[in-house]
């Protein structure tokens, strides 16, 4: 993964540069310089993970290319919004998600806390089937993504909202759970969602 490789290169370059800076000092300062060099390099490397320097000069052609550059895993599904995209993926058997932001010129690497889980809910139906729901928001946009799972069963779920949103379906090969996901623009107090006849009030504030 190039994202990790770039961070390793940054760490090495900063370490070497600072070691040269301390090279002409006394031995005690050299020892101290080695410690300081590695600490500064580690801090810079951490900052570059939170605020990717690549975003200053690289624009990607698709959310998939951003993912392949910056995240480890296998893409299962891509849902594009107006100013972002949700990628559902698996990594070593674990399911996860990543929201990729979009600029005016193309796709960018997500910065620290690009996405935020603004709502979550778990409930049982009359047959004691477990439902789990999460709503994710791409910060500084009106892009919301709803993810609804019915756990440990492949029974279909009837999902309807008042935006005629398209809820796509994905079946897990790990535990037979079914997951539905959709992009919704600007979830507000007027948004209505029904899951298998149950009305869900989403509070994203």
Sign of CA dihedral 32, 33, 39, 40: positive
User: 36 burial class (0-12, 13-18, 19+ CB within 10 angstroms)?
Assistant: middle
Q: Which of 175, 178, 130, 173 is nearest to 154 (CA)?
A: 178
Q: Which two tokens stand for residue 161?
A: 């909202």
Tens-digit pLDDT profile for the chain (205 aa)? 666 666 666 667 766 776 676 666 655 556 666 676 677 766 666 665 666 777 878 899 999 999 998 888 999 999 999 999 999 998 887 888 999 999 999 999 887 666 678 899 999 988 888 999 999 999 889 999 999 999 888 889 999 999 999 999 987 766 678 899 999 999 998 999 999 999 999 987 6
Question: Would the pTM of this model clear 0.85, i.e. be above it?
Answer: no
How far is residue 83's CA from residue 60's CA, in Å, rounded to a whole number?
A: 14
Cross-strand pairs, 130: 124
**In angstroms, rounded to a whole number, what is the distance separating the alpha carbons of residues 150 and 130?**
6
Q: What is the pLDDT of residue 48?
A: 59
Predicted local confidence at residue 121, as pLDDT: 94
Do residues 174 and 93 make contact, with C-beta atoms less than 8 angstroms apart? yes
């Amino acid at each position: 993964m190039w994202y990790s490789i770039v961070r390793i290169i940054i760490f090495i370059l900063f370490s070497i540069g600072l070691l040269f800076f301390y090279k002409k000092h006394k031995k005690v300062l050299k020892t101290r310089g080695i410690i300081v060099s590695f600490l500064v390099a580690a801090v810079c490397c951490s900052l570059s993970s939170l605020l990717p320097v690549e975003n200053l000069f690289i624009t990607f052609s698709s959310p998939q290319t951003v993912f392949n550059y910056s995240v480890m895993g296998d893409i299962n599904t891509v849902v594009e919004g107006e100013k972002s995209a949700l990628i559902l993926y698996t990594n070593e058997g674990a399911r996860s998600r990543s929201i990729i932001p979009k600029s005016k010129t193309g796709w960018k690497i997500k910065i620290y806390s690009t996405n935020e889980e603004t709502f979550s809910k778990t409930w049982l139906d009359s047959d004691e089937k477990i439902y789990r729901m999460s709503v994710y928001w791409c910060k500084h946009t009106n892009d919301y993504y709803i993810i609804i799972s019915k756990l440990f069963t492949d029974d279909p779920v009837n999902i309807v909202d008042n935006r005629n949103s398209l809820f796509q379906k994905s079946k897990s090969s790990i535990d037979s759970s079914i997951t539905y996901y959709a992009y919704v623009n600007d979830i507000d107090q007027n948004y209505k969602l029904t899951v298998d006849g149950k009305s869900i009030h989403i509070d994203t504030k």
